Structure 1
């Protein structure tokens, strides 16, 4: 820990995350969420989860793998972070819109949770206008964010896409597992992997750190002389 910095500030790390949902009906295109977040290992909190969600019903098989020219939605509103004691980590969700209105509430539920739509995938406000929301849910192990996920943790990953490129009539495209939420996705999509890696600092960051250590060394030498 660097002297003079608050403990919580010194513990914050930026991570990159890639989730993959297998989509049997749109091969070779899968749904991918590629993003980043910051993690405070003192407070065990996640913030600023943002990233790009692909729409696997768009794009062409002739594009470059793994994105295949798919339309990508930028999810920039982290609106949920729930600790799951059984899994040992946080389920964190970022949205396209600045609200959680995703699925119909005609069947009850909160309008966005992966199991709240009863497998129907109908958009929020059905049969009225569709707000076109989307989200991706990741899992962060609070002991080690980069640890490989267990199958039980993978089963709790999820996404929903109610934006135009993810719609099948009134049904949103989703990715879930039966083990995690009682049903697979609306086009049979389901999560297969998630990889979290520590972000590599930019060269400017290294330069600032070295400069900071240099100042600290100078101050320490002055104190010894005094």
Structure 2
């Protein structure tokens, strides 16, 4: 038993001595439903990626999106459809949402980042018809990196080996 504890402590110290993980490409999924205007009840969904290597975690920061796909009203929109730079917003290291605008479709629309938290982010659209404009909520979900799954599986495997070894030694 003491050997198991000592081995665990040594492994933990070795892991702590490793250099911190470098930033990587982040992947997010998003979706929402329009809650007002001519398109009430319509939904949208998509995904985007960005590199957070330059994220400092201090104050307001905007990072360029490297890949985006959005499905809305039966059409697929990409970065090529954007009217301006497509970026994600952070404040003090907290993800606030996506800034993306399309003016080449009917209706024109934007994804707007929150100001203090991602739950404040929303989708807004503007129709050619007066009074037809509206908004909707948006929900973001980070997609875990494959390395996170690999580390989880490796940890579970090590726990299983330790339990098996303990069972063999006590028999």
Structure with the bigger percentage of strand: 2
Structure with the bigger percentage of helix: 2
Smaller-chain TM-score bracket: 0.3 to 0.5
TM-score normalised by the chain length of structure 2? 0.48
Please say which structure displays the higher CA radius of gyration: 2
TM-score normalised by the chain length of structure 1? 0.39
